[in-house]
Amino acid sequence: MVEKYIFGSPFETEAVTAEMEAAEFTGKVICGEILLENGFCYRCQMDDTDVIYGLGEANRGINKRGYKYVSNCTDDPHHTEEKTSLYGAHNFIIISGKKHVGLFFDYPANLCFDIGYTRQDMLTVSCERADLYLYVITGESAYDVAKQFRKIIGKSYIAPKYAFGYGQSRWGYKTHEDIETVVRGYRDNRIPIDMVYMDIDYMQDYKDFTVNPERFPDFPQFVQKMKAKQIHLIPIIDAGVKIEEGYDIYEEGVEKGYFCKREDGSDFVAAVWPGWTHFPDVLNPDARAWFGGKYKILTDVGIDGFWNDMNEPAIFYSEEGIKALNQAIVDYVREFDSNQGNIKADSDTSEDVMNNAKAVPWEVRSCIDKLQNSPEDYERFYHNVKGKKVRHDFVHNLYGFNMTRAAGEALQKIAPDKKMLLFSRSSYIGMHRYGGIWTGDNQSWWSHILLNLKMMPSLNMCGFLYTGADLGGFGSDTTRDLVLRWLALGVFTPLMRNHTALGTREQECYQFEHVEDFRHVIGVRYRLIPYLYSEYLKAVENDAMYFRPLGFDYPDDRRAVETEDQLMLGNEVMIAPVYTQNVSGRTVYLPEEMKFVKFMPDGKIYEEILNRGTHYIEVALNEVPLFIRKGKCIPVVDVAENVDAIDMDTVRYLGYDGAEYEIME
């Protein structure tokens, strides 16, 4: 059962698509109380054994208990354990214990979840203004609650089948030659691949929807040339539009009033990669249609996939921020001088500042740090929502959602019968109807394989089915074994992309010794694509989860409920990837008898029935393990070097004798 409550005058986020009557609020909701004295606060006493699921793309465990989280879309490339906000805002949690209750706080600004942080047995969800919708869902199990939630937020976006192929990316590919080198590296080594990503350097001066003509002398022809090699090029689109006279998108946006504005009506100016930019006001439907329409510039030349970046929106600094920094330096120098007894009457020239630079290290440093993604900047600009001026910080978490919605709505118009690949960095629930997400700038750390795994089911609860992390790790130098182990998890994530940052060690699979190991691991992905894509489509169709915590399938088995390093996948599979360095296997918990399957480097498939309980399984760096549930089977095909080349005539079924499986296409 789903109940809807209204507090104050909420902003219409359009996260929920189901129409329903609001219930009358009598001071209490099931299993909690609501305080409205100071903004909004939901409070609930947790039982010792209650598990809290949810929050989509968030830090820490599948069970969110024991920490605090803040929904505040943030561009932060250091996903260390103490971080409370990442790029997405997914305000849905499930309290699962004796009762199973889902709560969706439909509120697009800062929202704090204290899940047993201040007090171990207390769950508190609070925000500054009591203007929100609260949806309370009760069901017979956590999974039942998640499915009911999915039903009210509308069907998830469906990625094209090619997007289940493998993709290579790197921040730093600049020219068509760079891309051709990558394609050659994969094709010559017969490592399967379907996509190469184009990061910001393909653009002319980081201008959205432009292509640098020196780096790509004949881009349309290049796209076709890659197509002929079965490679889809996937360009990045950033949120900020460069301010430059003569740049049509900038000029049109200004003329039509489609950029976010300051209080005084002037266009807000922020620095991002292109230098000074304006942000398209994607919360305004007209501006959204206009910006989305620009994707046609690239689809017209054959592009059929995009990734949207920097749409928290990330801000390096604003004009106001820079002025404030200057002032801070001047003030500091003045004060320093006066403390030293050598007051200078007019020490506000940059020369004076430079002369005293030695004296201002810390204060200036901290001012500089505060320039980026500053809360003050988010209070400086406004959206035009149906003629009403809405300050950005009130709706901050909707920006990435609506930028991607702009693209999604436009792509549907441009090619109604064609599925396009689209995913975003920032998101809010509701965006799952328009595209997928990737989990942003992780690091080449072993702990981030596990973080990747833990985020997947939480994202699925919130509707985001097409998801994945930067395999091999984005920041810092990777290692061969880390890439292989991470790929062996990536084999199962809908988005399987290797991506890394500018300046890091080369991370394409063919850069490492024994390339055949990489060929094999990625090859396993292609052998499983008919199954994985089928399970993905079924999950979309049934508002189900492609990835689930073990506790969703085995709620009465405490050991399963507490398992944080294995996942259920689709209706037939459990995965348990290795995520530790220098080990030759791992311990796995089986909540019931299953068939242990290992894809061996010689192409053979090892199978063994294992009983319920704990097992140590050996998994070499070049092997891919999975488990098939009792009485089930899955289709496997022969390896193909791209999705189009998958030969369904080679299909056979792996698992329990007598089981049947229906492939959905």
Positions in the binding site for ligand MIG (CB under 6 A):
171, 199-200, 236, 309-310, 425, 440-441, 499
CB of 235 or CB of 494, closer to ligand MIG: 235
Length of the chain: 665
CB of 403 or CB of 628, closer to ligand MIG: 403
Stated as kind and residue range, the H or E segment containing 145 is: helix 142-153
CB of 474 or CB of 546, closer to ligand MIG: 474
CB of 433 or CB of 499, closer to ligand MIG: 499
CB of 373 or CB of 622, closer to ligand MIG: 373
**Measured distance CA(412)–CA(419) in Å, rounded:** 8
Instruction: State the nearest-atom distance from the C-beta of 87 to ligand MIG, in Å.
Output: 8
Instruction: State the nearest-atom distance from the C-beta of 470 to ligand MIG, in Å.
Output: 7
CB of 303 or CB of 578, closer to ligand MIG: 303
Instruction: State the nearest-atom distance from the C-beta of 163 to ligand MIG, in Å.
Output: 17
**Measured distance CA(259)–CA(269) in Å, rounded:** 10
**Measured distance CA(36)–CA(184) in Å, rounded:** 62
CB of 240 or CB of 549, closer to ligand MIG: 240
Q: Is there a contact between 124 and 533 (Cβ–Cβ < 8 Å)?
A: no
Q: Identify any residues that bridge with 6 across adjacent strands, giving them in sequence order.
A: 133
Q: Where are the beta strands (DSSP E) in 446-490?
A: 467-468, 470-471
**Measured distance CA(278)–CA(293) in Å, rounded:** 17
Burial string for 68-101 (b: 16+ CB within 10 Å, else e) reads bbbbbbbbbeebeeeebbbbbbbbbbbbbbeebb
**Structural tokens at position 390:** 């809405």
**Measured distance CA(187)–CA(172) in Å, rounded:** 21
CB of 171 or CB of 276, closer to ligand MIG: 171
Measured from the Cβ of residue 409, the count of other Cβ atoms closer than 10 Å reads: 18
Instruction: State the nearest-atom distance from the C-beta of 2 to ligand MIG, in Å.
Output: 35
Instruction: State the nearest-atom distance from the C-beta of 350 to ligand MIG, in Å.
Output: 28
**Structural tokens at position 509:** 């699979």
3-state secondary structure of 550: helix
CB of 304 or CB of 441, closer to ligand MIG: 441
Instruction: State the nearest-atom distance from the C-beta of 545 to ligand MIG, in Å.
Output: 25
**Measured distance CA(298)–CA(414) in Å, rounded:** 11
- Ranked by CB distance to ligand MIG, the top (closest) residue is 171
**Which positions ≥6 away from 428 have C-beta within 8 Å?**
13, 15, 73, 88, 89, 90, 108, 397, 398, 400, 401
Instruction: State the nearest-atom distance from the C-beta of 260 to ligand MIG, in Å.
Output: 20
What is the secondary structure of 292-350 as a DSSP string?
Answer: HHTTHHHHTTT--EEEEESTTT--SEEHHHHHHHHHHHHHHHHHHHHHTT---TT--SH
**Long-range Cβ contacts of 323-330 (<8 Å, 24+ apart):** 324/367, 325/364, 325/367, 325/368, 325/371, 328/363, 328/364, 328/367, 329/353, 329/360, 329/364, 329/367
Q: How far is CA 457 from CA 133, 234, 413, 491, 564, in A?
A: 24, 26, 31, 16, 11
Instruction: State the nearest-atom distance from the C-beta of 280 to ligand MIG, in Å.
Output: 18
CB of 125 or CB of 211, closer to ligand MIG: 211
Instruction: State the nearest-atom distance from the C-beta of 231 to ligand MIG, in Å.
Output: 19
CB of 455 or CB of 617, closer to ligand MIG: 455
Stated as kind and residue range, the H or E segment containing 533 is: helix 515-541
CB of 182 or CB of 633, closer to ligand MIG: 182
**Which positions ≥6 away from 5 have C-beta within 8 Å?**
22, 23, 25, 29, 133, 134, 135, 136
Instruction: State the nearest-atom distance from the C-beta of 200 to ligand MIG, in Å.
Output: 4
Instruction: State the nearest-atom distance from the C-beta of 77 to ligand MIG, in Å.
Output: 7
Q: Is there a contact between 215 and 176 (Cβ–Cβ < 8 Å)?
A: yes
Instruction: State the nearest-atom distance from the C-beta of 515 to ligand MIG, in Å.
Output: 25
